[in-house]
Structures are given as structure tokens and as C-alpha cells.
Structure 1
Amino acid sequence: MAHHPPSIDIQNLTYTFPDNSIGLEDININLPAGSRTLLIGANGAGKTTLLRLASGKKLTTRGRIRIGGVDPFAHGLEGVTYLGLEWVLNPIVRNDIYVHELLASVGGDAYPERRDQLVRILDIDVDWRMHIASDGERRRVQLAMGLLRPWSILLIDEVTVDLDVLARFRFLEFLKEETETRGCTIVYATHIMDGIAGWPTNLVRMAGGKVKAVGTVASFLGEVERKGASAGCRDGGIMRNSALLDLALGWLVEDLEERGPRDRTKSGQVTYNNVEKEPF
């Protein structure tokens, strides 16, 4: 991947779960190198499945994925980092071990400047003992471990939920700087829209295993204005929190109204749960 810009190109991707239900249907996304993309969608929209496929954690059944020009299933993805549920639940971070020992075990001594930068940004005490650390402290250490080795593409499946406001802000600023100085590419699935103004360059809207919209943040400003949301700008045209939040809320409300309740109990209505079970 060193010979290719760290772009993400997904074409006609469909994924079927072992029970033959559809997890993703005909996904088409092209994200340029250096972009910072938010995946927006309700629980069960397909965001995690998409990230796992893009990272090579799951084998695709139909379609084409190229990560930095590389097929993730035919070749190893050097330079791609995926931070998701499996990473969060790794039991090693609950052992009686010092933070500096954990960081050394994942290459801290090989990248001392980067290690020290992450320790400073995430406000970590390297003498913390992990088995008595709080959830928020443990998550900071996990982020430092996951980001320590330089990467070209970062796929994040909401792993910042335990961070306080300042830690999350500094973490996102670090990621933004990485894209601007090293040309890295990031895809971030999150439900937390507060404090993220000015961060994304691109948005992907997902619902029911499908991509309903994809584009630059600027391209969606008109939609916010049409719906009467506050579409003020800051820092050369990046939307404020209120505009981004209003946009996300509007999408989620529309998706909820379209699919109906999940419990299948409404008089004959097709709901999201049984839509996934039906043949396409």
C-alpha cells in the first residue's frame, strides 16, 4: 500500500450473514486520501459490518473493496488500523500491568516521540496499573496502544464513548493533524455529534444495510438550510455543531419513519428487523 494513496474504494458490496440475512446491500463509496469521514446511522444500520469488511476482518461475499489500492482479502493490509469491539474487549488491559509496560509491548520503544505525544495528548500516567484504572483511563491507554504505530488508514467503530470532553477533543485534534500532515485517511462511526464541528470532511449516511447518501460536508450544507437548521459556518466554511447535529438528527428521524418500529408488532408493516430477513 506504500505505492498507493490511502484511499478507500468500495463498489457493489453486498454482505450476507450466516443466517442468510442481508447485512449490507450494494454499497458504493469512494473516499479520497486525506479525508476524515463520519459514518452516520442508527444502531443496526450496518456501520460495524462495513468497517469490519473494509479492515479485512470479514470476508466479502459480493462486490469489490480496495483499501489503498489493495484487496484486503488477498493481501495483508499494512498500514491499516481498525479499532472496534474486539480491540476494546481485549482482556490484557485489565491485567495487573503498568502502562509503560503495555506501551513498550506494542512498539513504544520503537516510536518514542509518537508514544510521548500520545501520552501527553491523552493525559496518561505511565505508572497507572491497569487493573485498578477507571474505564476512561483504560480507554485512553487503549487508544495510545492502537495509534502508536504509524498508520495510513484508520477505521474507528465508536471507541471514544468513555472519554471525557477534553480527552475526546484532544484525540480528535490529533487525528485531524495526522490527516493534514501525513495524508492519512480516517473513517469514524460515532453517535456522538457534540464537539465535532470542523472535524469531518466527508459524511456517509447508512440505514438498513444501505448507503443512502455520501459526499463532502460542504455538499450537505444546502440540505441543512432547506430544513431550516442553523447552517452557520466557521473556519472557512466548516459547519458548526448545531448544523451537523441537526443534519444527523434529520437523517435518523427520516430513517426511523421509513423503516417503522423494530418489534414487528404493527399491523402488517414491514419493519427493519424483518426487512433484513427478507430476500433481496
Structure 2
Amino acid sequence: MKRTVQTDTPALVLDNIYKYYSQWQRTGKLSDTLKNLFKPQKRKLTALNGVSLRVEKGDFVAYAGANGAGKSTTIKILCGILQPSDGEVSVLGLNPAKDRIALMRRIGIVFGQRTELWWDHPVITSYEWKKVVWGIPDEVYNRNLQAVTELLDLSDILHTFSRELSLGQRMRADLGMMLLHDPEVVFLDEPTLGLDVLAKQQMIAFLRRINAERGTTVIVTSHDMDDLEAMARRIVLLSHGKVAFDGSFEALRTVQGSLGRIRVTARSDMPPNFLSLAFLSSQGNVHEYAYDSDVTPIQEILTQLSGSEEVQNVEIIKAPIEDVIASLYKSWKQQEPAQFITQKSL
């Protein structure tokens, strides 16, 4: 059932959010035992450094960054699990820290490495437990149970003990449980972690469907950028605890616009050598190369290819989003981003 999306109140707002952690430092030397015990050194770590973000209802946003960038910390703050050290946060107009119970009835959360399912009971028992504890009305529960059973193909596992499920089955069951109370916003932290190709495809198709058909707002984190590109329309990249990019995947490619791929159909299975291209892979007589137009203009590359007797056909393709983001991570590793990049500024 399509949810009526009201745009007056955004799905979430982060306004200049900071999050600090304290970390005790110890030398590990036996001679420093007393010093470590009575006068340990403390280091202040900054997980989030002035993050500001606004997501409208019905959006599908990928939230990404290298390890330690602050992705999971942000999700936990939005869910009320953690409180920010400074700044303002609201989800559906509510303060996650102060209005956590009211908020939990309107949002859904799935952490890829954790489960809400009862380990030694059938999946349906966990679902019925949630119905009772959360006070989900019969009409809502029955409608959503039927919907998730169909959309996630759960009919064969509803009466299976959770401990006997494969990882892909368990993730589908967790997603189904998350949606039983009809959440308006869902947060997913690494939902495709460890899933095989088929399970990933099912997961991605399902998330896109509930976003399109129900108007559910989806915020998803993942290290798999190809998965994120297949799911979301917008990507927010964190670096050093700051928002370094906010826009579409297509706009992200323009940030590293010099990277590209060329697919060459040759007369032979042996890939021809080209000075301006870096060979990547072959499939039969189709060979793929990488190029950097900042080093060699594309016109010059095409001229070289057209002059080769080995080349039968040339196709310019997009660089994989993984490569684009990896290049950005490398450029951000040594220094913080100079400015907040939005699609509007590109």
C-alpha cells in the first residue's frame, strides 16, 4: 500500500553534529603498570566533525565512507542509540534521544551482523512476539505479514528455526520483521554483507520496491559501492567525519571525470598493447582497458585505436563506481576535503 508522503517535515535532519569518544592509552610496558593504573593517558577521538544533512521523505540515500569515517555512528545517533556530543538531530520531527519510544514505532533498523530473531524458535514466533510487544493492530500485522512473505519469499522459512537459516535467509527474515509495524523510515547498516549474488539481487530489488511502492524512506550504508549504486538515487560520502560529497552517482563520477574505461573488440584473443591504456581483463577477443583523460586526451586515444589493424570495434564505458570512490578515498586520505561538495556545485 502506497504511503501518503507529506513533505512538510523532512525524514531526518542533522545540523552540525559532532561526536567525540575518549580512548584510554596504555604503554603495555611492565615498568609503566602503576602509571597506567593511576594516571592513564586519555585521547579524544572525533567520529563526526560537524555533519549536516537533510533527507526528505521518500528518498533513498546511500551513506558511505571508508572504515572509521563515521557511518555507523551516524546511524546510531539517528536511531537514538547514541547521543551527539554537539549539534541538533531530528527524525520525522522527533528528537531520537528524548523521543526514542515514539520514534521506534515509526522507524525500522537492520544491522547486517545482528538479528532480532529468536535463535531457538521458528521465524513466525519472533514475528508474533513483535506483534504483541509492539501492540501492532491485527489489520496492520496481517497486511504486512502477507506483503513481506510474498515480496521476500518467506513462505518456506517462516516455520524454520532461526538458527537453521542461511545468512541470506536470515537477512530476508530480519527485513520482514523490521517492516511488520509499517515504518516510515528504515536504516540499514551493511544489509548485503556476506550475501551471495542472488541474495544481494533479491535484497536490492526488495528495498527499491518498498521505496517506490510504499514511499518508505531508506538510508543504507555499505562498503559495496556497486550495491549502493544499484539501490540508491543519492549518495552521501563521509571523510574524516565530515560530509565530503552529497549528490547523485552520476555527479560523483564528474568529480573524478578523468577516469574511464574502453572496451576493445580485437581480431585476436591476445590483448593488443597501447601506450595510453592500462590493460584490465579479457573475455574472448573483447579486452577492457583503463585510461585517464587528464594524462592522454580521449581524442588521442581514439586516434591510436583507429590506427591499429588489430582493433575491430571500440566502446567507451563508465568507470566502475568502486574505482571512482577508491580514487577519491586516496585523495582524501592525507588531508581533509577542502569543501562540502553538492550536486548543485558541480
* TM-score class normalised by the smaller sequence: 0.7 to 0.9
Contact 1:158 1:189 in 2 (8 A): yes
Return the offset for 1:58. 0.8
Among 127, 147, 151, which residue is 2:159 paired with?
127
Equivalent residue runs for 1:39-188 within 5 Å = 39-75=63-99, 76-77=102-103, 78-84=105-111, 88-90=114-116, 92-95=117-120, 97-107=121-131, 110-124=140-154, 125=156, 126-188=158-220
In structure 1, the partner of 2:55 is 31
Equivalent residue runs for 1:256-267 within 5 Å = 256-258=333-335
Task: Give me the whole-angstrom Cα distance separating, in 1, the residues matched to 2:58 and 2:90.
Answer: 16
Among 9, 13, 20, which residue is 2:13 paired with?
9
TM-score normalised by L of structure 2 = 0.63
Task: Give me the whole-angstrom Cα distance separating, in 1, the residues matched to 2:318 and 2:197.
Answer: 14
Identity among equivalent pairs (%) = 22
Among 253, 259, 278, which residue is 2:330 paired with?
253
Task: Give me the whole-angstrom Cα distance separating, in 1, the residues matched to 2:232 and 2:261.
Answer: 18
Return the offset for 1:56. 1.1
Give SS of 1:228's match. Answer: strand
Task: Give me the whole-angstrom Cα distance separating, in 2, the residues matched to 1:227 and 1:257.
Answer: 21
User: Which amino acid counterpart does residue 58 of structure 1 have in structure 2?
Assistant: L
CA deviation map 1:27-82 (0-9, x unaligned): 11122221111112111111000110011111122001121222222323141222
Task: Give me the whole-angstrom Cα distance separating, in 2, the residues matched to 1:155 and 1:162.
Answer: 18
> Cα 1:163–1:118, aligned 2, differ >3 Å: closer, same or farther?
farther
- Unmatched tracts of structure 1, length 5 or more: 231-239, 260-280
Give SS of 1:149's match. Answer: coil
Task: Give me the whole-angstrom Cα distance separating, in 1, the residues matched to 2:261 and 2:326.
Answer: 11
User: Which amino acid counterpart does residue 53 of structure 2 have in structure 1?
Assistant: I
Return the offset for 1:204. 0.9
**Alpha-carbon RMSD:** 2.8
Give SS of 1:93's match. Answer: coil
Task: Give me the whole-angstrom Cα distance separating, in 2, the residues matched to 1:173 and 1:88.
Answer: 22
Task: Give me the whole-angstrom Cα distance separating, in 1, the residues matched to 2:12 and 2:47.
Answer: 20
| Structure with greater strand share of residues | 2
Task: Give me the whole-angstrom Cα distance separating, in 2, the residues matched to 1:251 and 1:5.
Answer: 33
Contact 1:193 1:241 in 2 (8 A): no
Task: Give me the whole-angstrom Cα distance separating, in 2, the residues matched to 1:64 and 1:229.
Answer: 43
User: Which amino acid counterpart does residue 93 of structure 1 have in structure 2?
Assistant: W
In structure 1, the partner of 2:255 is 223
Contact 2:261 2:318 in 1 (8 A): no
Matched residues, number: 247
User: Comparing both chains, which one has the higher relative contact order based on Cα–Cα distances under 8 Å and sequence gaps of 6 or more?
Assistant: 1
User: Which amino acid counterpart does residue 82 of structure 1 have in structure 2?
Assistant: I
Return the offset for 1:4. 5.0
Give SS of 1:14's match. Answer: strand
User: Which amino acid counterpart does residue 129 of structure 1 have in structure 2?
Assistant: F
Give SS of 1:225's match. Answer: coil
